[in-house]
Structure 1
Amino acid sequence: MHFRCSLGRSGRKCLKREGDGATPVGAWDFRRIFYRGDRMKPPRASAGPRALRPFDGWCETVGDRNYNRLVRMPYAASHETMTRQDHLYDIVVELSHNERPRVQGHGSAVFFHLRDPDGGPTAGCIAVSERDMRVILAHCRRRNRIVITAN
């Protein structure tokens, strides 16, 4: 299967850094699947999707003990709100990038999520249309991964 996707505004990089706008090169396992239960039905997926809650956030502060982890808002350190006003995180998949070990400053919140309707670049994530995301998740199994190559 082939799908059109959007990558980071700075392209792809082998050595990802926080805030560089690049999509990290590598093979990233699918972790948790989240969706906006207030906006849609859950996607079909073998790994049970979880509805995002209004207090879900993702820590992006280098040096914080919860860097690159799901946090409960309000949260003192800088974080991203998972229940965004736009629709990019209506379905969002946590990837294994910078997970074990978590290295401070090597990138946080690198997700597989829905694409901007204009098809523009991401801040470093991988994004596809909602239709394609639903097809991909319906065919994925727990051990699937997404591979980003250098060229």
Structure 2
Amino acid sequence: MTKRPRPHERHRDSGTARTLATLKVHPRVGDRRKGLLQAGAAIIPCALGAGGIVQVKREGDGGSPRGRFRLRGGSYRPDNLARPVTALPLRRTAPGDGWCDDVRDRRYNRPIALPAPGVSAERMWRDDGLYDVVIDLDHNRGPIRPGRGSAIFLHVARPGYTPTEGCVALKRADLLRLLRRLGPRTRIVIG
């Protein structure tokens, strides 16, 4: 006879708790650069883009794009933390990793190897800890449209939740706890 799992055991997956279907991000009243992320019953403070939440995202506008996005997986910096527990696919960040934000380049809004002479790209191996763990949101990914925004991530926030360039950023401890509840079917709704 097969033993039936207890209710608290039914939703376990590789050491992770039951994955959330949806995360919701709303701007804070009085400061559109800060937000609240709802994850189930939890409400988590977050930083948003300096331009707040925007309907039409443009490269360099500082806005966080309004919409519903998949979590494509991400990366973590192995010299600063152990692999986070999550059902999302994660890879180790390397010192030569970058993300192309050059609208003229065919690799726009994609990972890129650095150095890349003559190409504008964001360095993923950062000294400030913001990308110690980073999750790629499915913004402007299929098809990729040059100039519609690149490198929209869920990542670690600066102290005081100062604005991002368009990403959603959480305190490191909050992000690591949240990752335990995220999986390939989780969606994030910004707006």
Query: What TM-score, normalized to structure 1?
Result: 0.95
The answer to which structure has the higher strand fraction is: 2
| Structure 1 residue 49 corresponds to structure 2 residue 90 | yes
Q: Distance in 1 between matches of 2:188 and 2:175?
A: 12
User: Paired residue for 1:67?
Assistant: 108
Q: What stretches of structure 1 of length at least 5 have no aligned partner?
A: none
Shift of 1:78: 0.5
Deviations 1:56-109 (A, max 9, x none): 000000021000000111113110000011011001001100000101100001
Report the counterpart of residue 138 of structure 2 in structure 1. 96
- What is the match of residue 16 of structure 1? 57
Percent of paired sites with the same residue: 42
Q: Which amino acid aligns with 1:8?
A: G
Question: Which of residues 126, 140, 150 is equivalent to 2:182?
Answer: 140
Corresponding residue of 2:166: 124
User: What is the identity, as a one-letter code, of the residue corresponding to 1:57?
Assistant: G
Matched, 1:85 2:127: yes
Q: Secondary structure at the match of 2:179?
A: helix
Query: Higher mean Cα deviation, 94-103 or 130-139?
Result: 130-139
Aligned AA for 1:96? D
Question: Counterpart amino acid of 2:181?
Answer: H
Q: Check whether the contact 2:73–2:184 (CA below 8 A) recurs between aligned residues.
A: no
Query: How many residues are paired up?
Result: 149
State the structure with more CA Rg. 2
Distance 1:107 1:25 in 2: 12
Alpha-carbon RMSD across the aligned residues, in angstroms, is 0.9
In 1, Cα distance between equivalents of 2:147 and 2:66: 16
SS of the aligned residue for 2:70 comes to: strand
Higher relative contact order (Cα pairs below 8 Å, separated by 6+ residues): 1
After the TM superposition, list the runs of 4 or more consecutive aligned residues in structure 1 that deviate by more than 3 angstroms.
none
How far apart are the structure 2 equivalents of 1:131 and 1:139? 14
- Equivalent residue number for residue 4 of structure 1: 45
Question: Which amino acid in the other structure matches residue 80 of structure 1?
Answer: E
Amino acid at match of 1:7: L
Determine helix, strand or coil for the equivalent of 2:44.
coil
